[in-house]
Amino acid sequence: MPDVIINGPDGRLEGRYQHNRAPGAPIALMLHPHPQHGGTMNNKVVYALYHTFARHGFSVLRFNFRGVGRSQGAFDRGEGELSDAASALDWLQGFNENAGACWIAGFSFGAWIGMQLLMRRPEISGFISIAPPANLFDFTFLAPCPASGLVIQGEQDEIVPPASVQKLVEKLTSQRNLDIDYRLIPGANHFFHDSLEELNRHLEDYLGKVLAMNPATAVR
């Protein structure tokens, strides 16, 4: 799990990268929660995402947005963070030129950034969005959403009301040729305290099913 330094748009970005040596291994980028509220690439949910993708044969990168940890720069209200994510994806693709597929995954603020990146990068073929802050940020740009994916929400989320996420999911599922798997975890709060094991089970279940249905993406 080597440390990596990525040249970002506002200075260096600190990351952790796990490489899969299989030819054509898919790639996945992880995005962390809000930098001004303690979000880092070492967040437990991001860590769980990172290792789940790695177990399923992906080359995986997580990194700190500008101004977090050893990443240079300062918080930029989402605009700069989207540019950071694009630079991180460029680095990941450059290191894996023959990747069979590209995924994005984010938690809370990172889910919002991830869905914006999804709209801008047609090579992204799947996503996982955990507790997307539909009550705090505008998601109307997902019209149409270009890829299918998984949305996970905690039933007792005290920051992002489940009803706001349900409304977002309903808008997405009304679009043609789109498969949104929505999972509500009973008793889970925004940070999934005491619910990480169940969160992991959903992540493992979803990726296992998707890769089984799309053998070209799976690494044998």
- Res. 217: pLDDT tops 70: no
10 Å Cβ neighbour count for 67? 18
Averaged pLDDT of the chain: 95
Q: How far apart are alpha carbons 112 and 33 in whole angstroms? A: 9
pLDDT-derived band at 214 (thresholds 50, 70, 90) equals confident
pLDDT at 218 over 60: no
pLDDT in tens, 122-159: 999 999 999 999 999 999 999 999 999 999 999 999 99
Q: Rounded mean pLDDT of 18-47?
A: 97
Confidence band of 197 (pLDDT split at 50, 70, 90) = very high
* Pairwise CA distance, residues 202 & 121, whole Å: 26
Q: How far apart are CA 6 and CA 22, in angstroms?
A: 23
What domains can you pick out in the chain, each with its CATH number?
3-213 (3.40.50.1820)
3-state DSSP call for residue 5? strand
pTM for the structure as a whole? 0.96
Spatial distance between the Cα atoms of 28 and 96, rounded to a whole number of angstroms = 11
pLDDT at 215: 61
| Each residue's pLDDT tens digit, 54-107 | 999 999 999 999 999 999 999 999 999 999 999 999 999 999 999 999 999 999
Neighbouring-strand partners of residue 181: 150
Q: Quick one: average pLDDT of 203-219?
A: 81
Average pLDDT over residues 164-193: 96
**pLDDT-based confidence at 46, cuts 50/70/90?**
very high
Place of tokens 């030129």: 97
**Among candidates 113, 107, 101, 173, which has minimal Cα distance to 137?**
113
pLDDT at 29: 98
Q: Would the pLDDT of 1 be above 80?
A: no
**pLDDT score of 213:** 87
